[in-house]
């Protein structure tokens, strides 16, 4: 049973992330979707944010680069309700020095029922969804109840 609802406004707050080997793919995708992206509030990590801002001439709030805490900042944005969904073109074949941060971000996205697109096809489907242009209520599952341990009976 859902524990809470998080309301997403018509203007979504989108975090954009790409590993080095995927930056060109994300940039190509963002160029193609510039019109749609321009109607939303954009965030990005490190170099990805710099590339997107200069190429697209859009305002982008930048976090640190992924290895310096940017992925964790995006995760915190999800937890605090400042990020509505994530486009994360990650490289599944290249080990990253911050793999634990990547895994933590993916976990947080699932825990907070946050859409996260990890490839171009999924990003296309998410961005072209009619839900992009309307309010949406994300239902959260009460994972916290699984973390609370029942108290032990008195001896």
Please report, for the chain, the start and end positions of each structural domain, with discontinuous segments joined by +: 2-141
71 is catalytic: yes
Q: Residues 30-54: what's their mean pLDDT?
A: 95
Instruction: Read off the tokens for 154.
Output: 């008195």
Q: Which of 71, 99, 101, 142 is catalytic?
A: 71
Q: What is the pLDDT of residues 72-125, one digit of tens each?
A: 999 999 999 999 999 999 887 676 666 788 889 999 999 999 999 999 999 999
Is there a contact between 40 and 27 (Cβ–Cβ < 8 Å)?
A: no
Residue 155 — very low, low, confident or very high, per pLDDT cuts 50/70/90? low
Q: What percent of the chain has pLDDT above 70? A: 87
Residue whose structure tokens are 């982008």: 60
pLDDT recorded at residue 148: 54
Write the CA distances from 121 to 34, 48, 87, 125, integer angstroms: 16, 19, 11, 6
Quick check: 66 pLDDT over 70?
yes
Q: What is the pTM of this model?
A: 0.87
β-bridge partners, 85: 14
CA-CA-CA-CA torsion sign (81, 84, 87, 91): positive
CA distance linking residue 2 with residue 118, whole number of Å? 25
Mean pLDDT of the chain, nearest integer: 88
Which residues lie below 8 Å from residue 131, measured CB to CB, with a gap of 6+? Answer: none
Topology of domain 2-141, CATH: Rossmann fold (3.40.50)
Which residues lie below 8 Å from residue 14, measured CB to CB, with a gap of 6+? Answer: 37, 40, 41, 42, 43, 83, 84, 85, 86, 87
pLDDT recorded at residue 91: 80
């Amino acid at each position: 049973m859902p524990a809470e609802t998080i309301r997403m406004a018509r203007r979504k707050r989108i975090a954009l992330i790409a590993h080095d080997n995927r930056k060109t793919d994300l940039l190509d995708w963002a160029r193609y979707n510039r019109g749609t992206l321009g109607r939303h509030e954009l965030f990005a990590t490190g170099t990805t944010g710099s590339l997107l801002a200069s190429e697209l001439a859009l305002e982008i709030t930048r976090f640190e680069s992924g290895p310096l805490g940017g992925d964790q900042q995006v995760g915190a944005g999800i937890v605090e309700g400042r990020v509505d969904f994530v486009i994360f073109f990650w490289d599944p074949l290249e080990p990253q020095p911050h793999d634990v941060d990547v895994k933590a971000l993916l976990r947080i996205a699932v825990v907070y029922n946050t859409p996260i697109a990890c490839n171009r096809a999924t990003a296309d489907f998410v961005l072209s969804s009619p839900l992009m242009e309307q309010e949406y209520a994300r239902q959260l599952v009460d994972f916290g109840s699984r973390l609370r341990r029942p108290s032990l009976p008195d001896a």
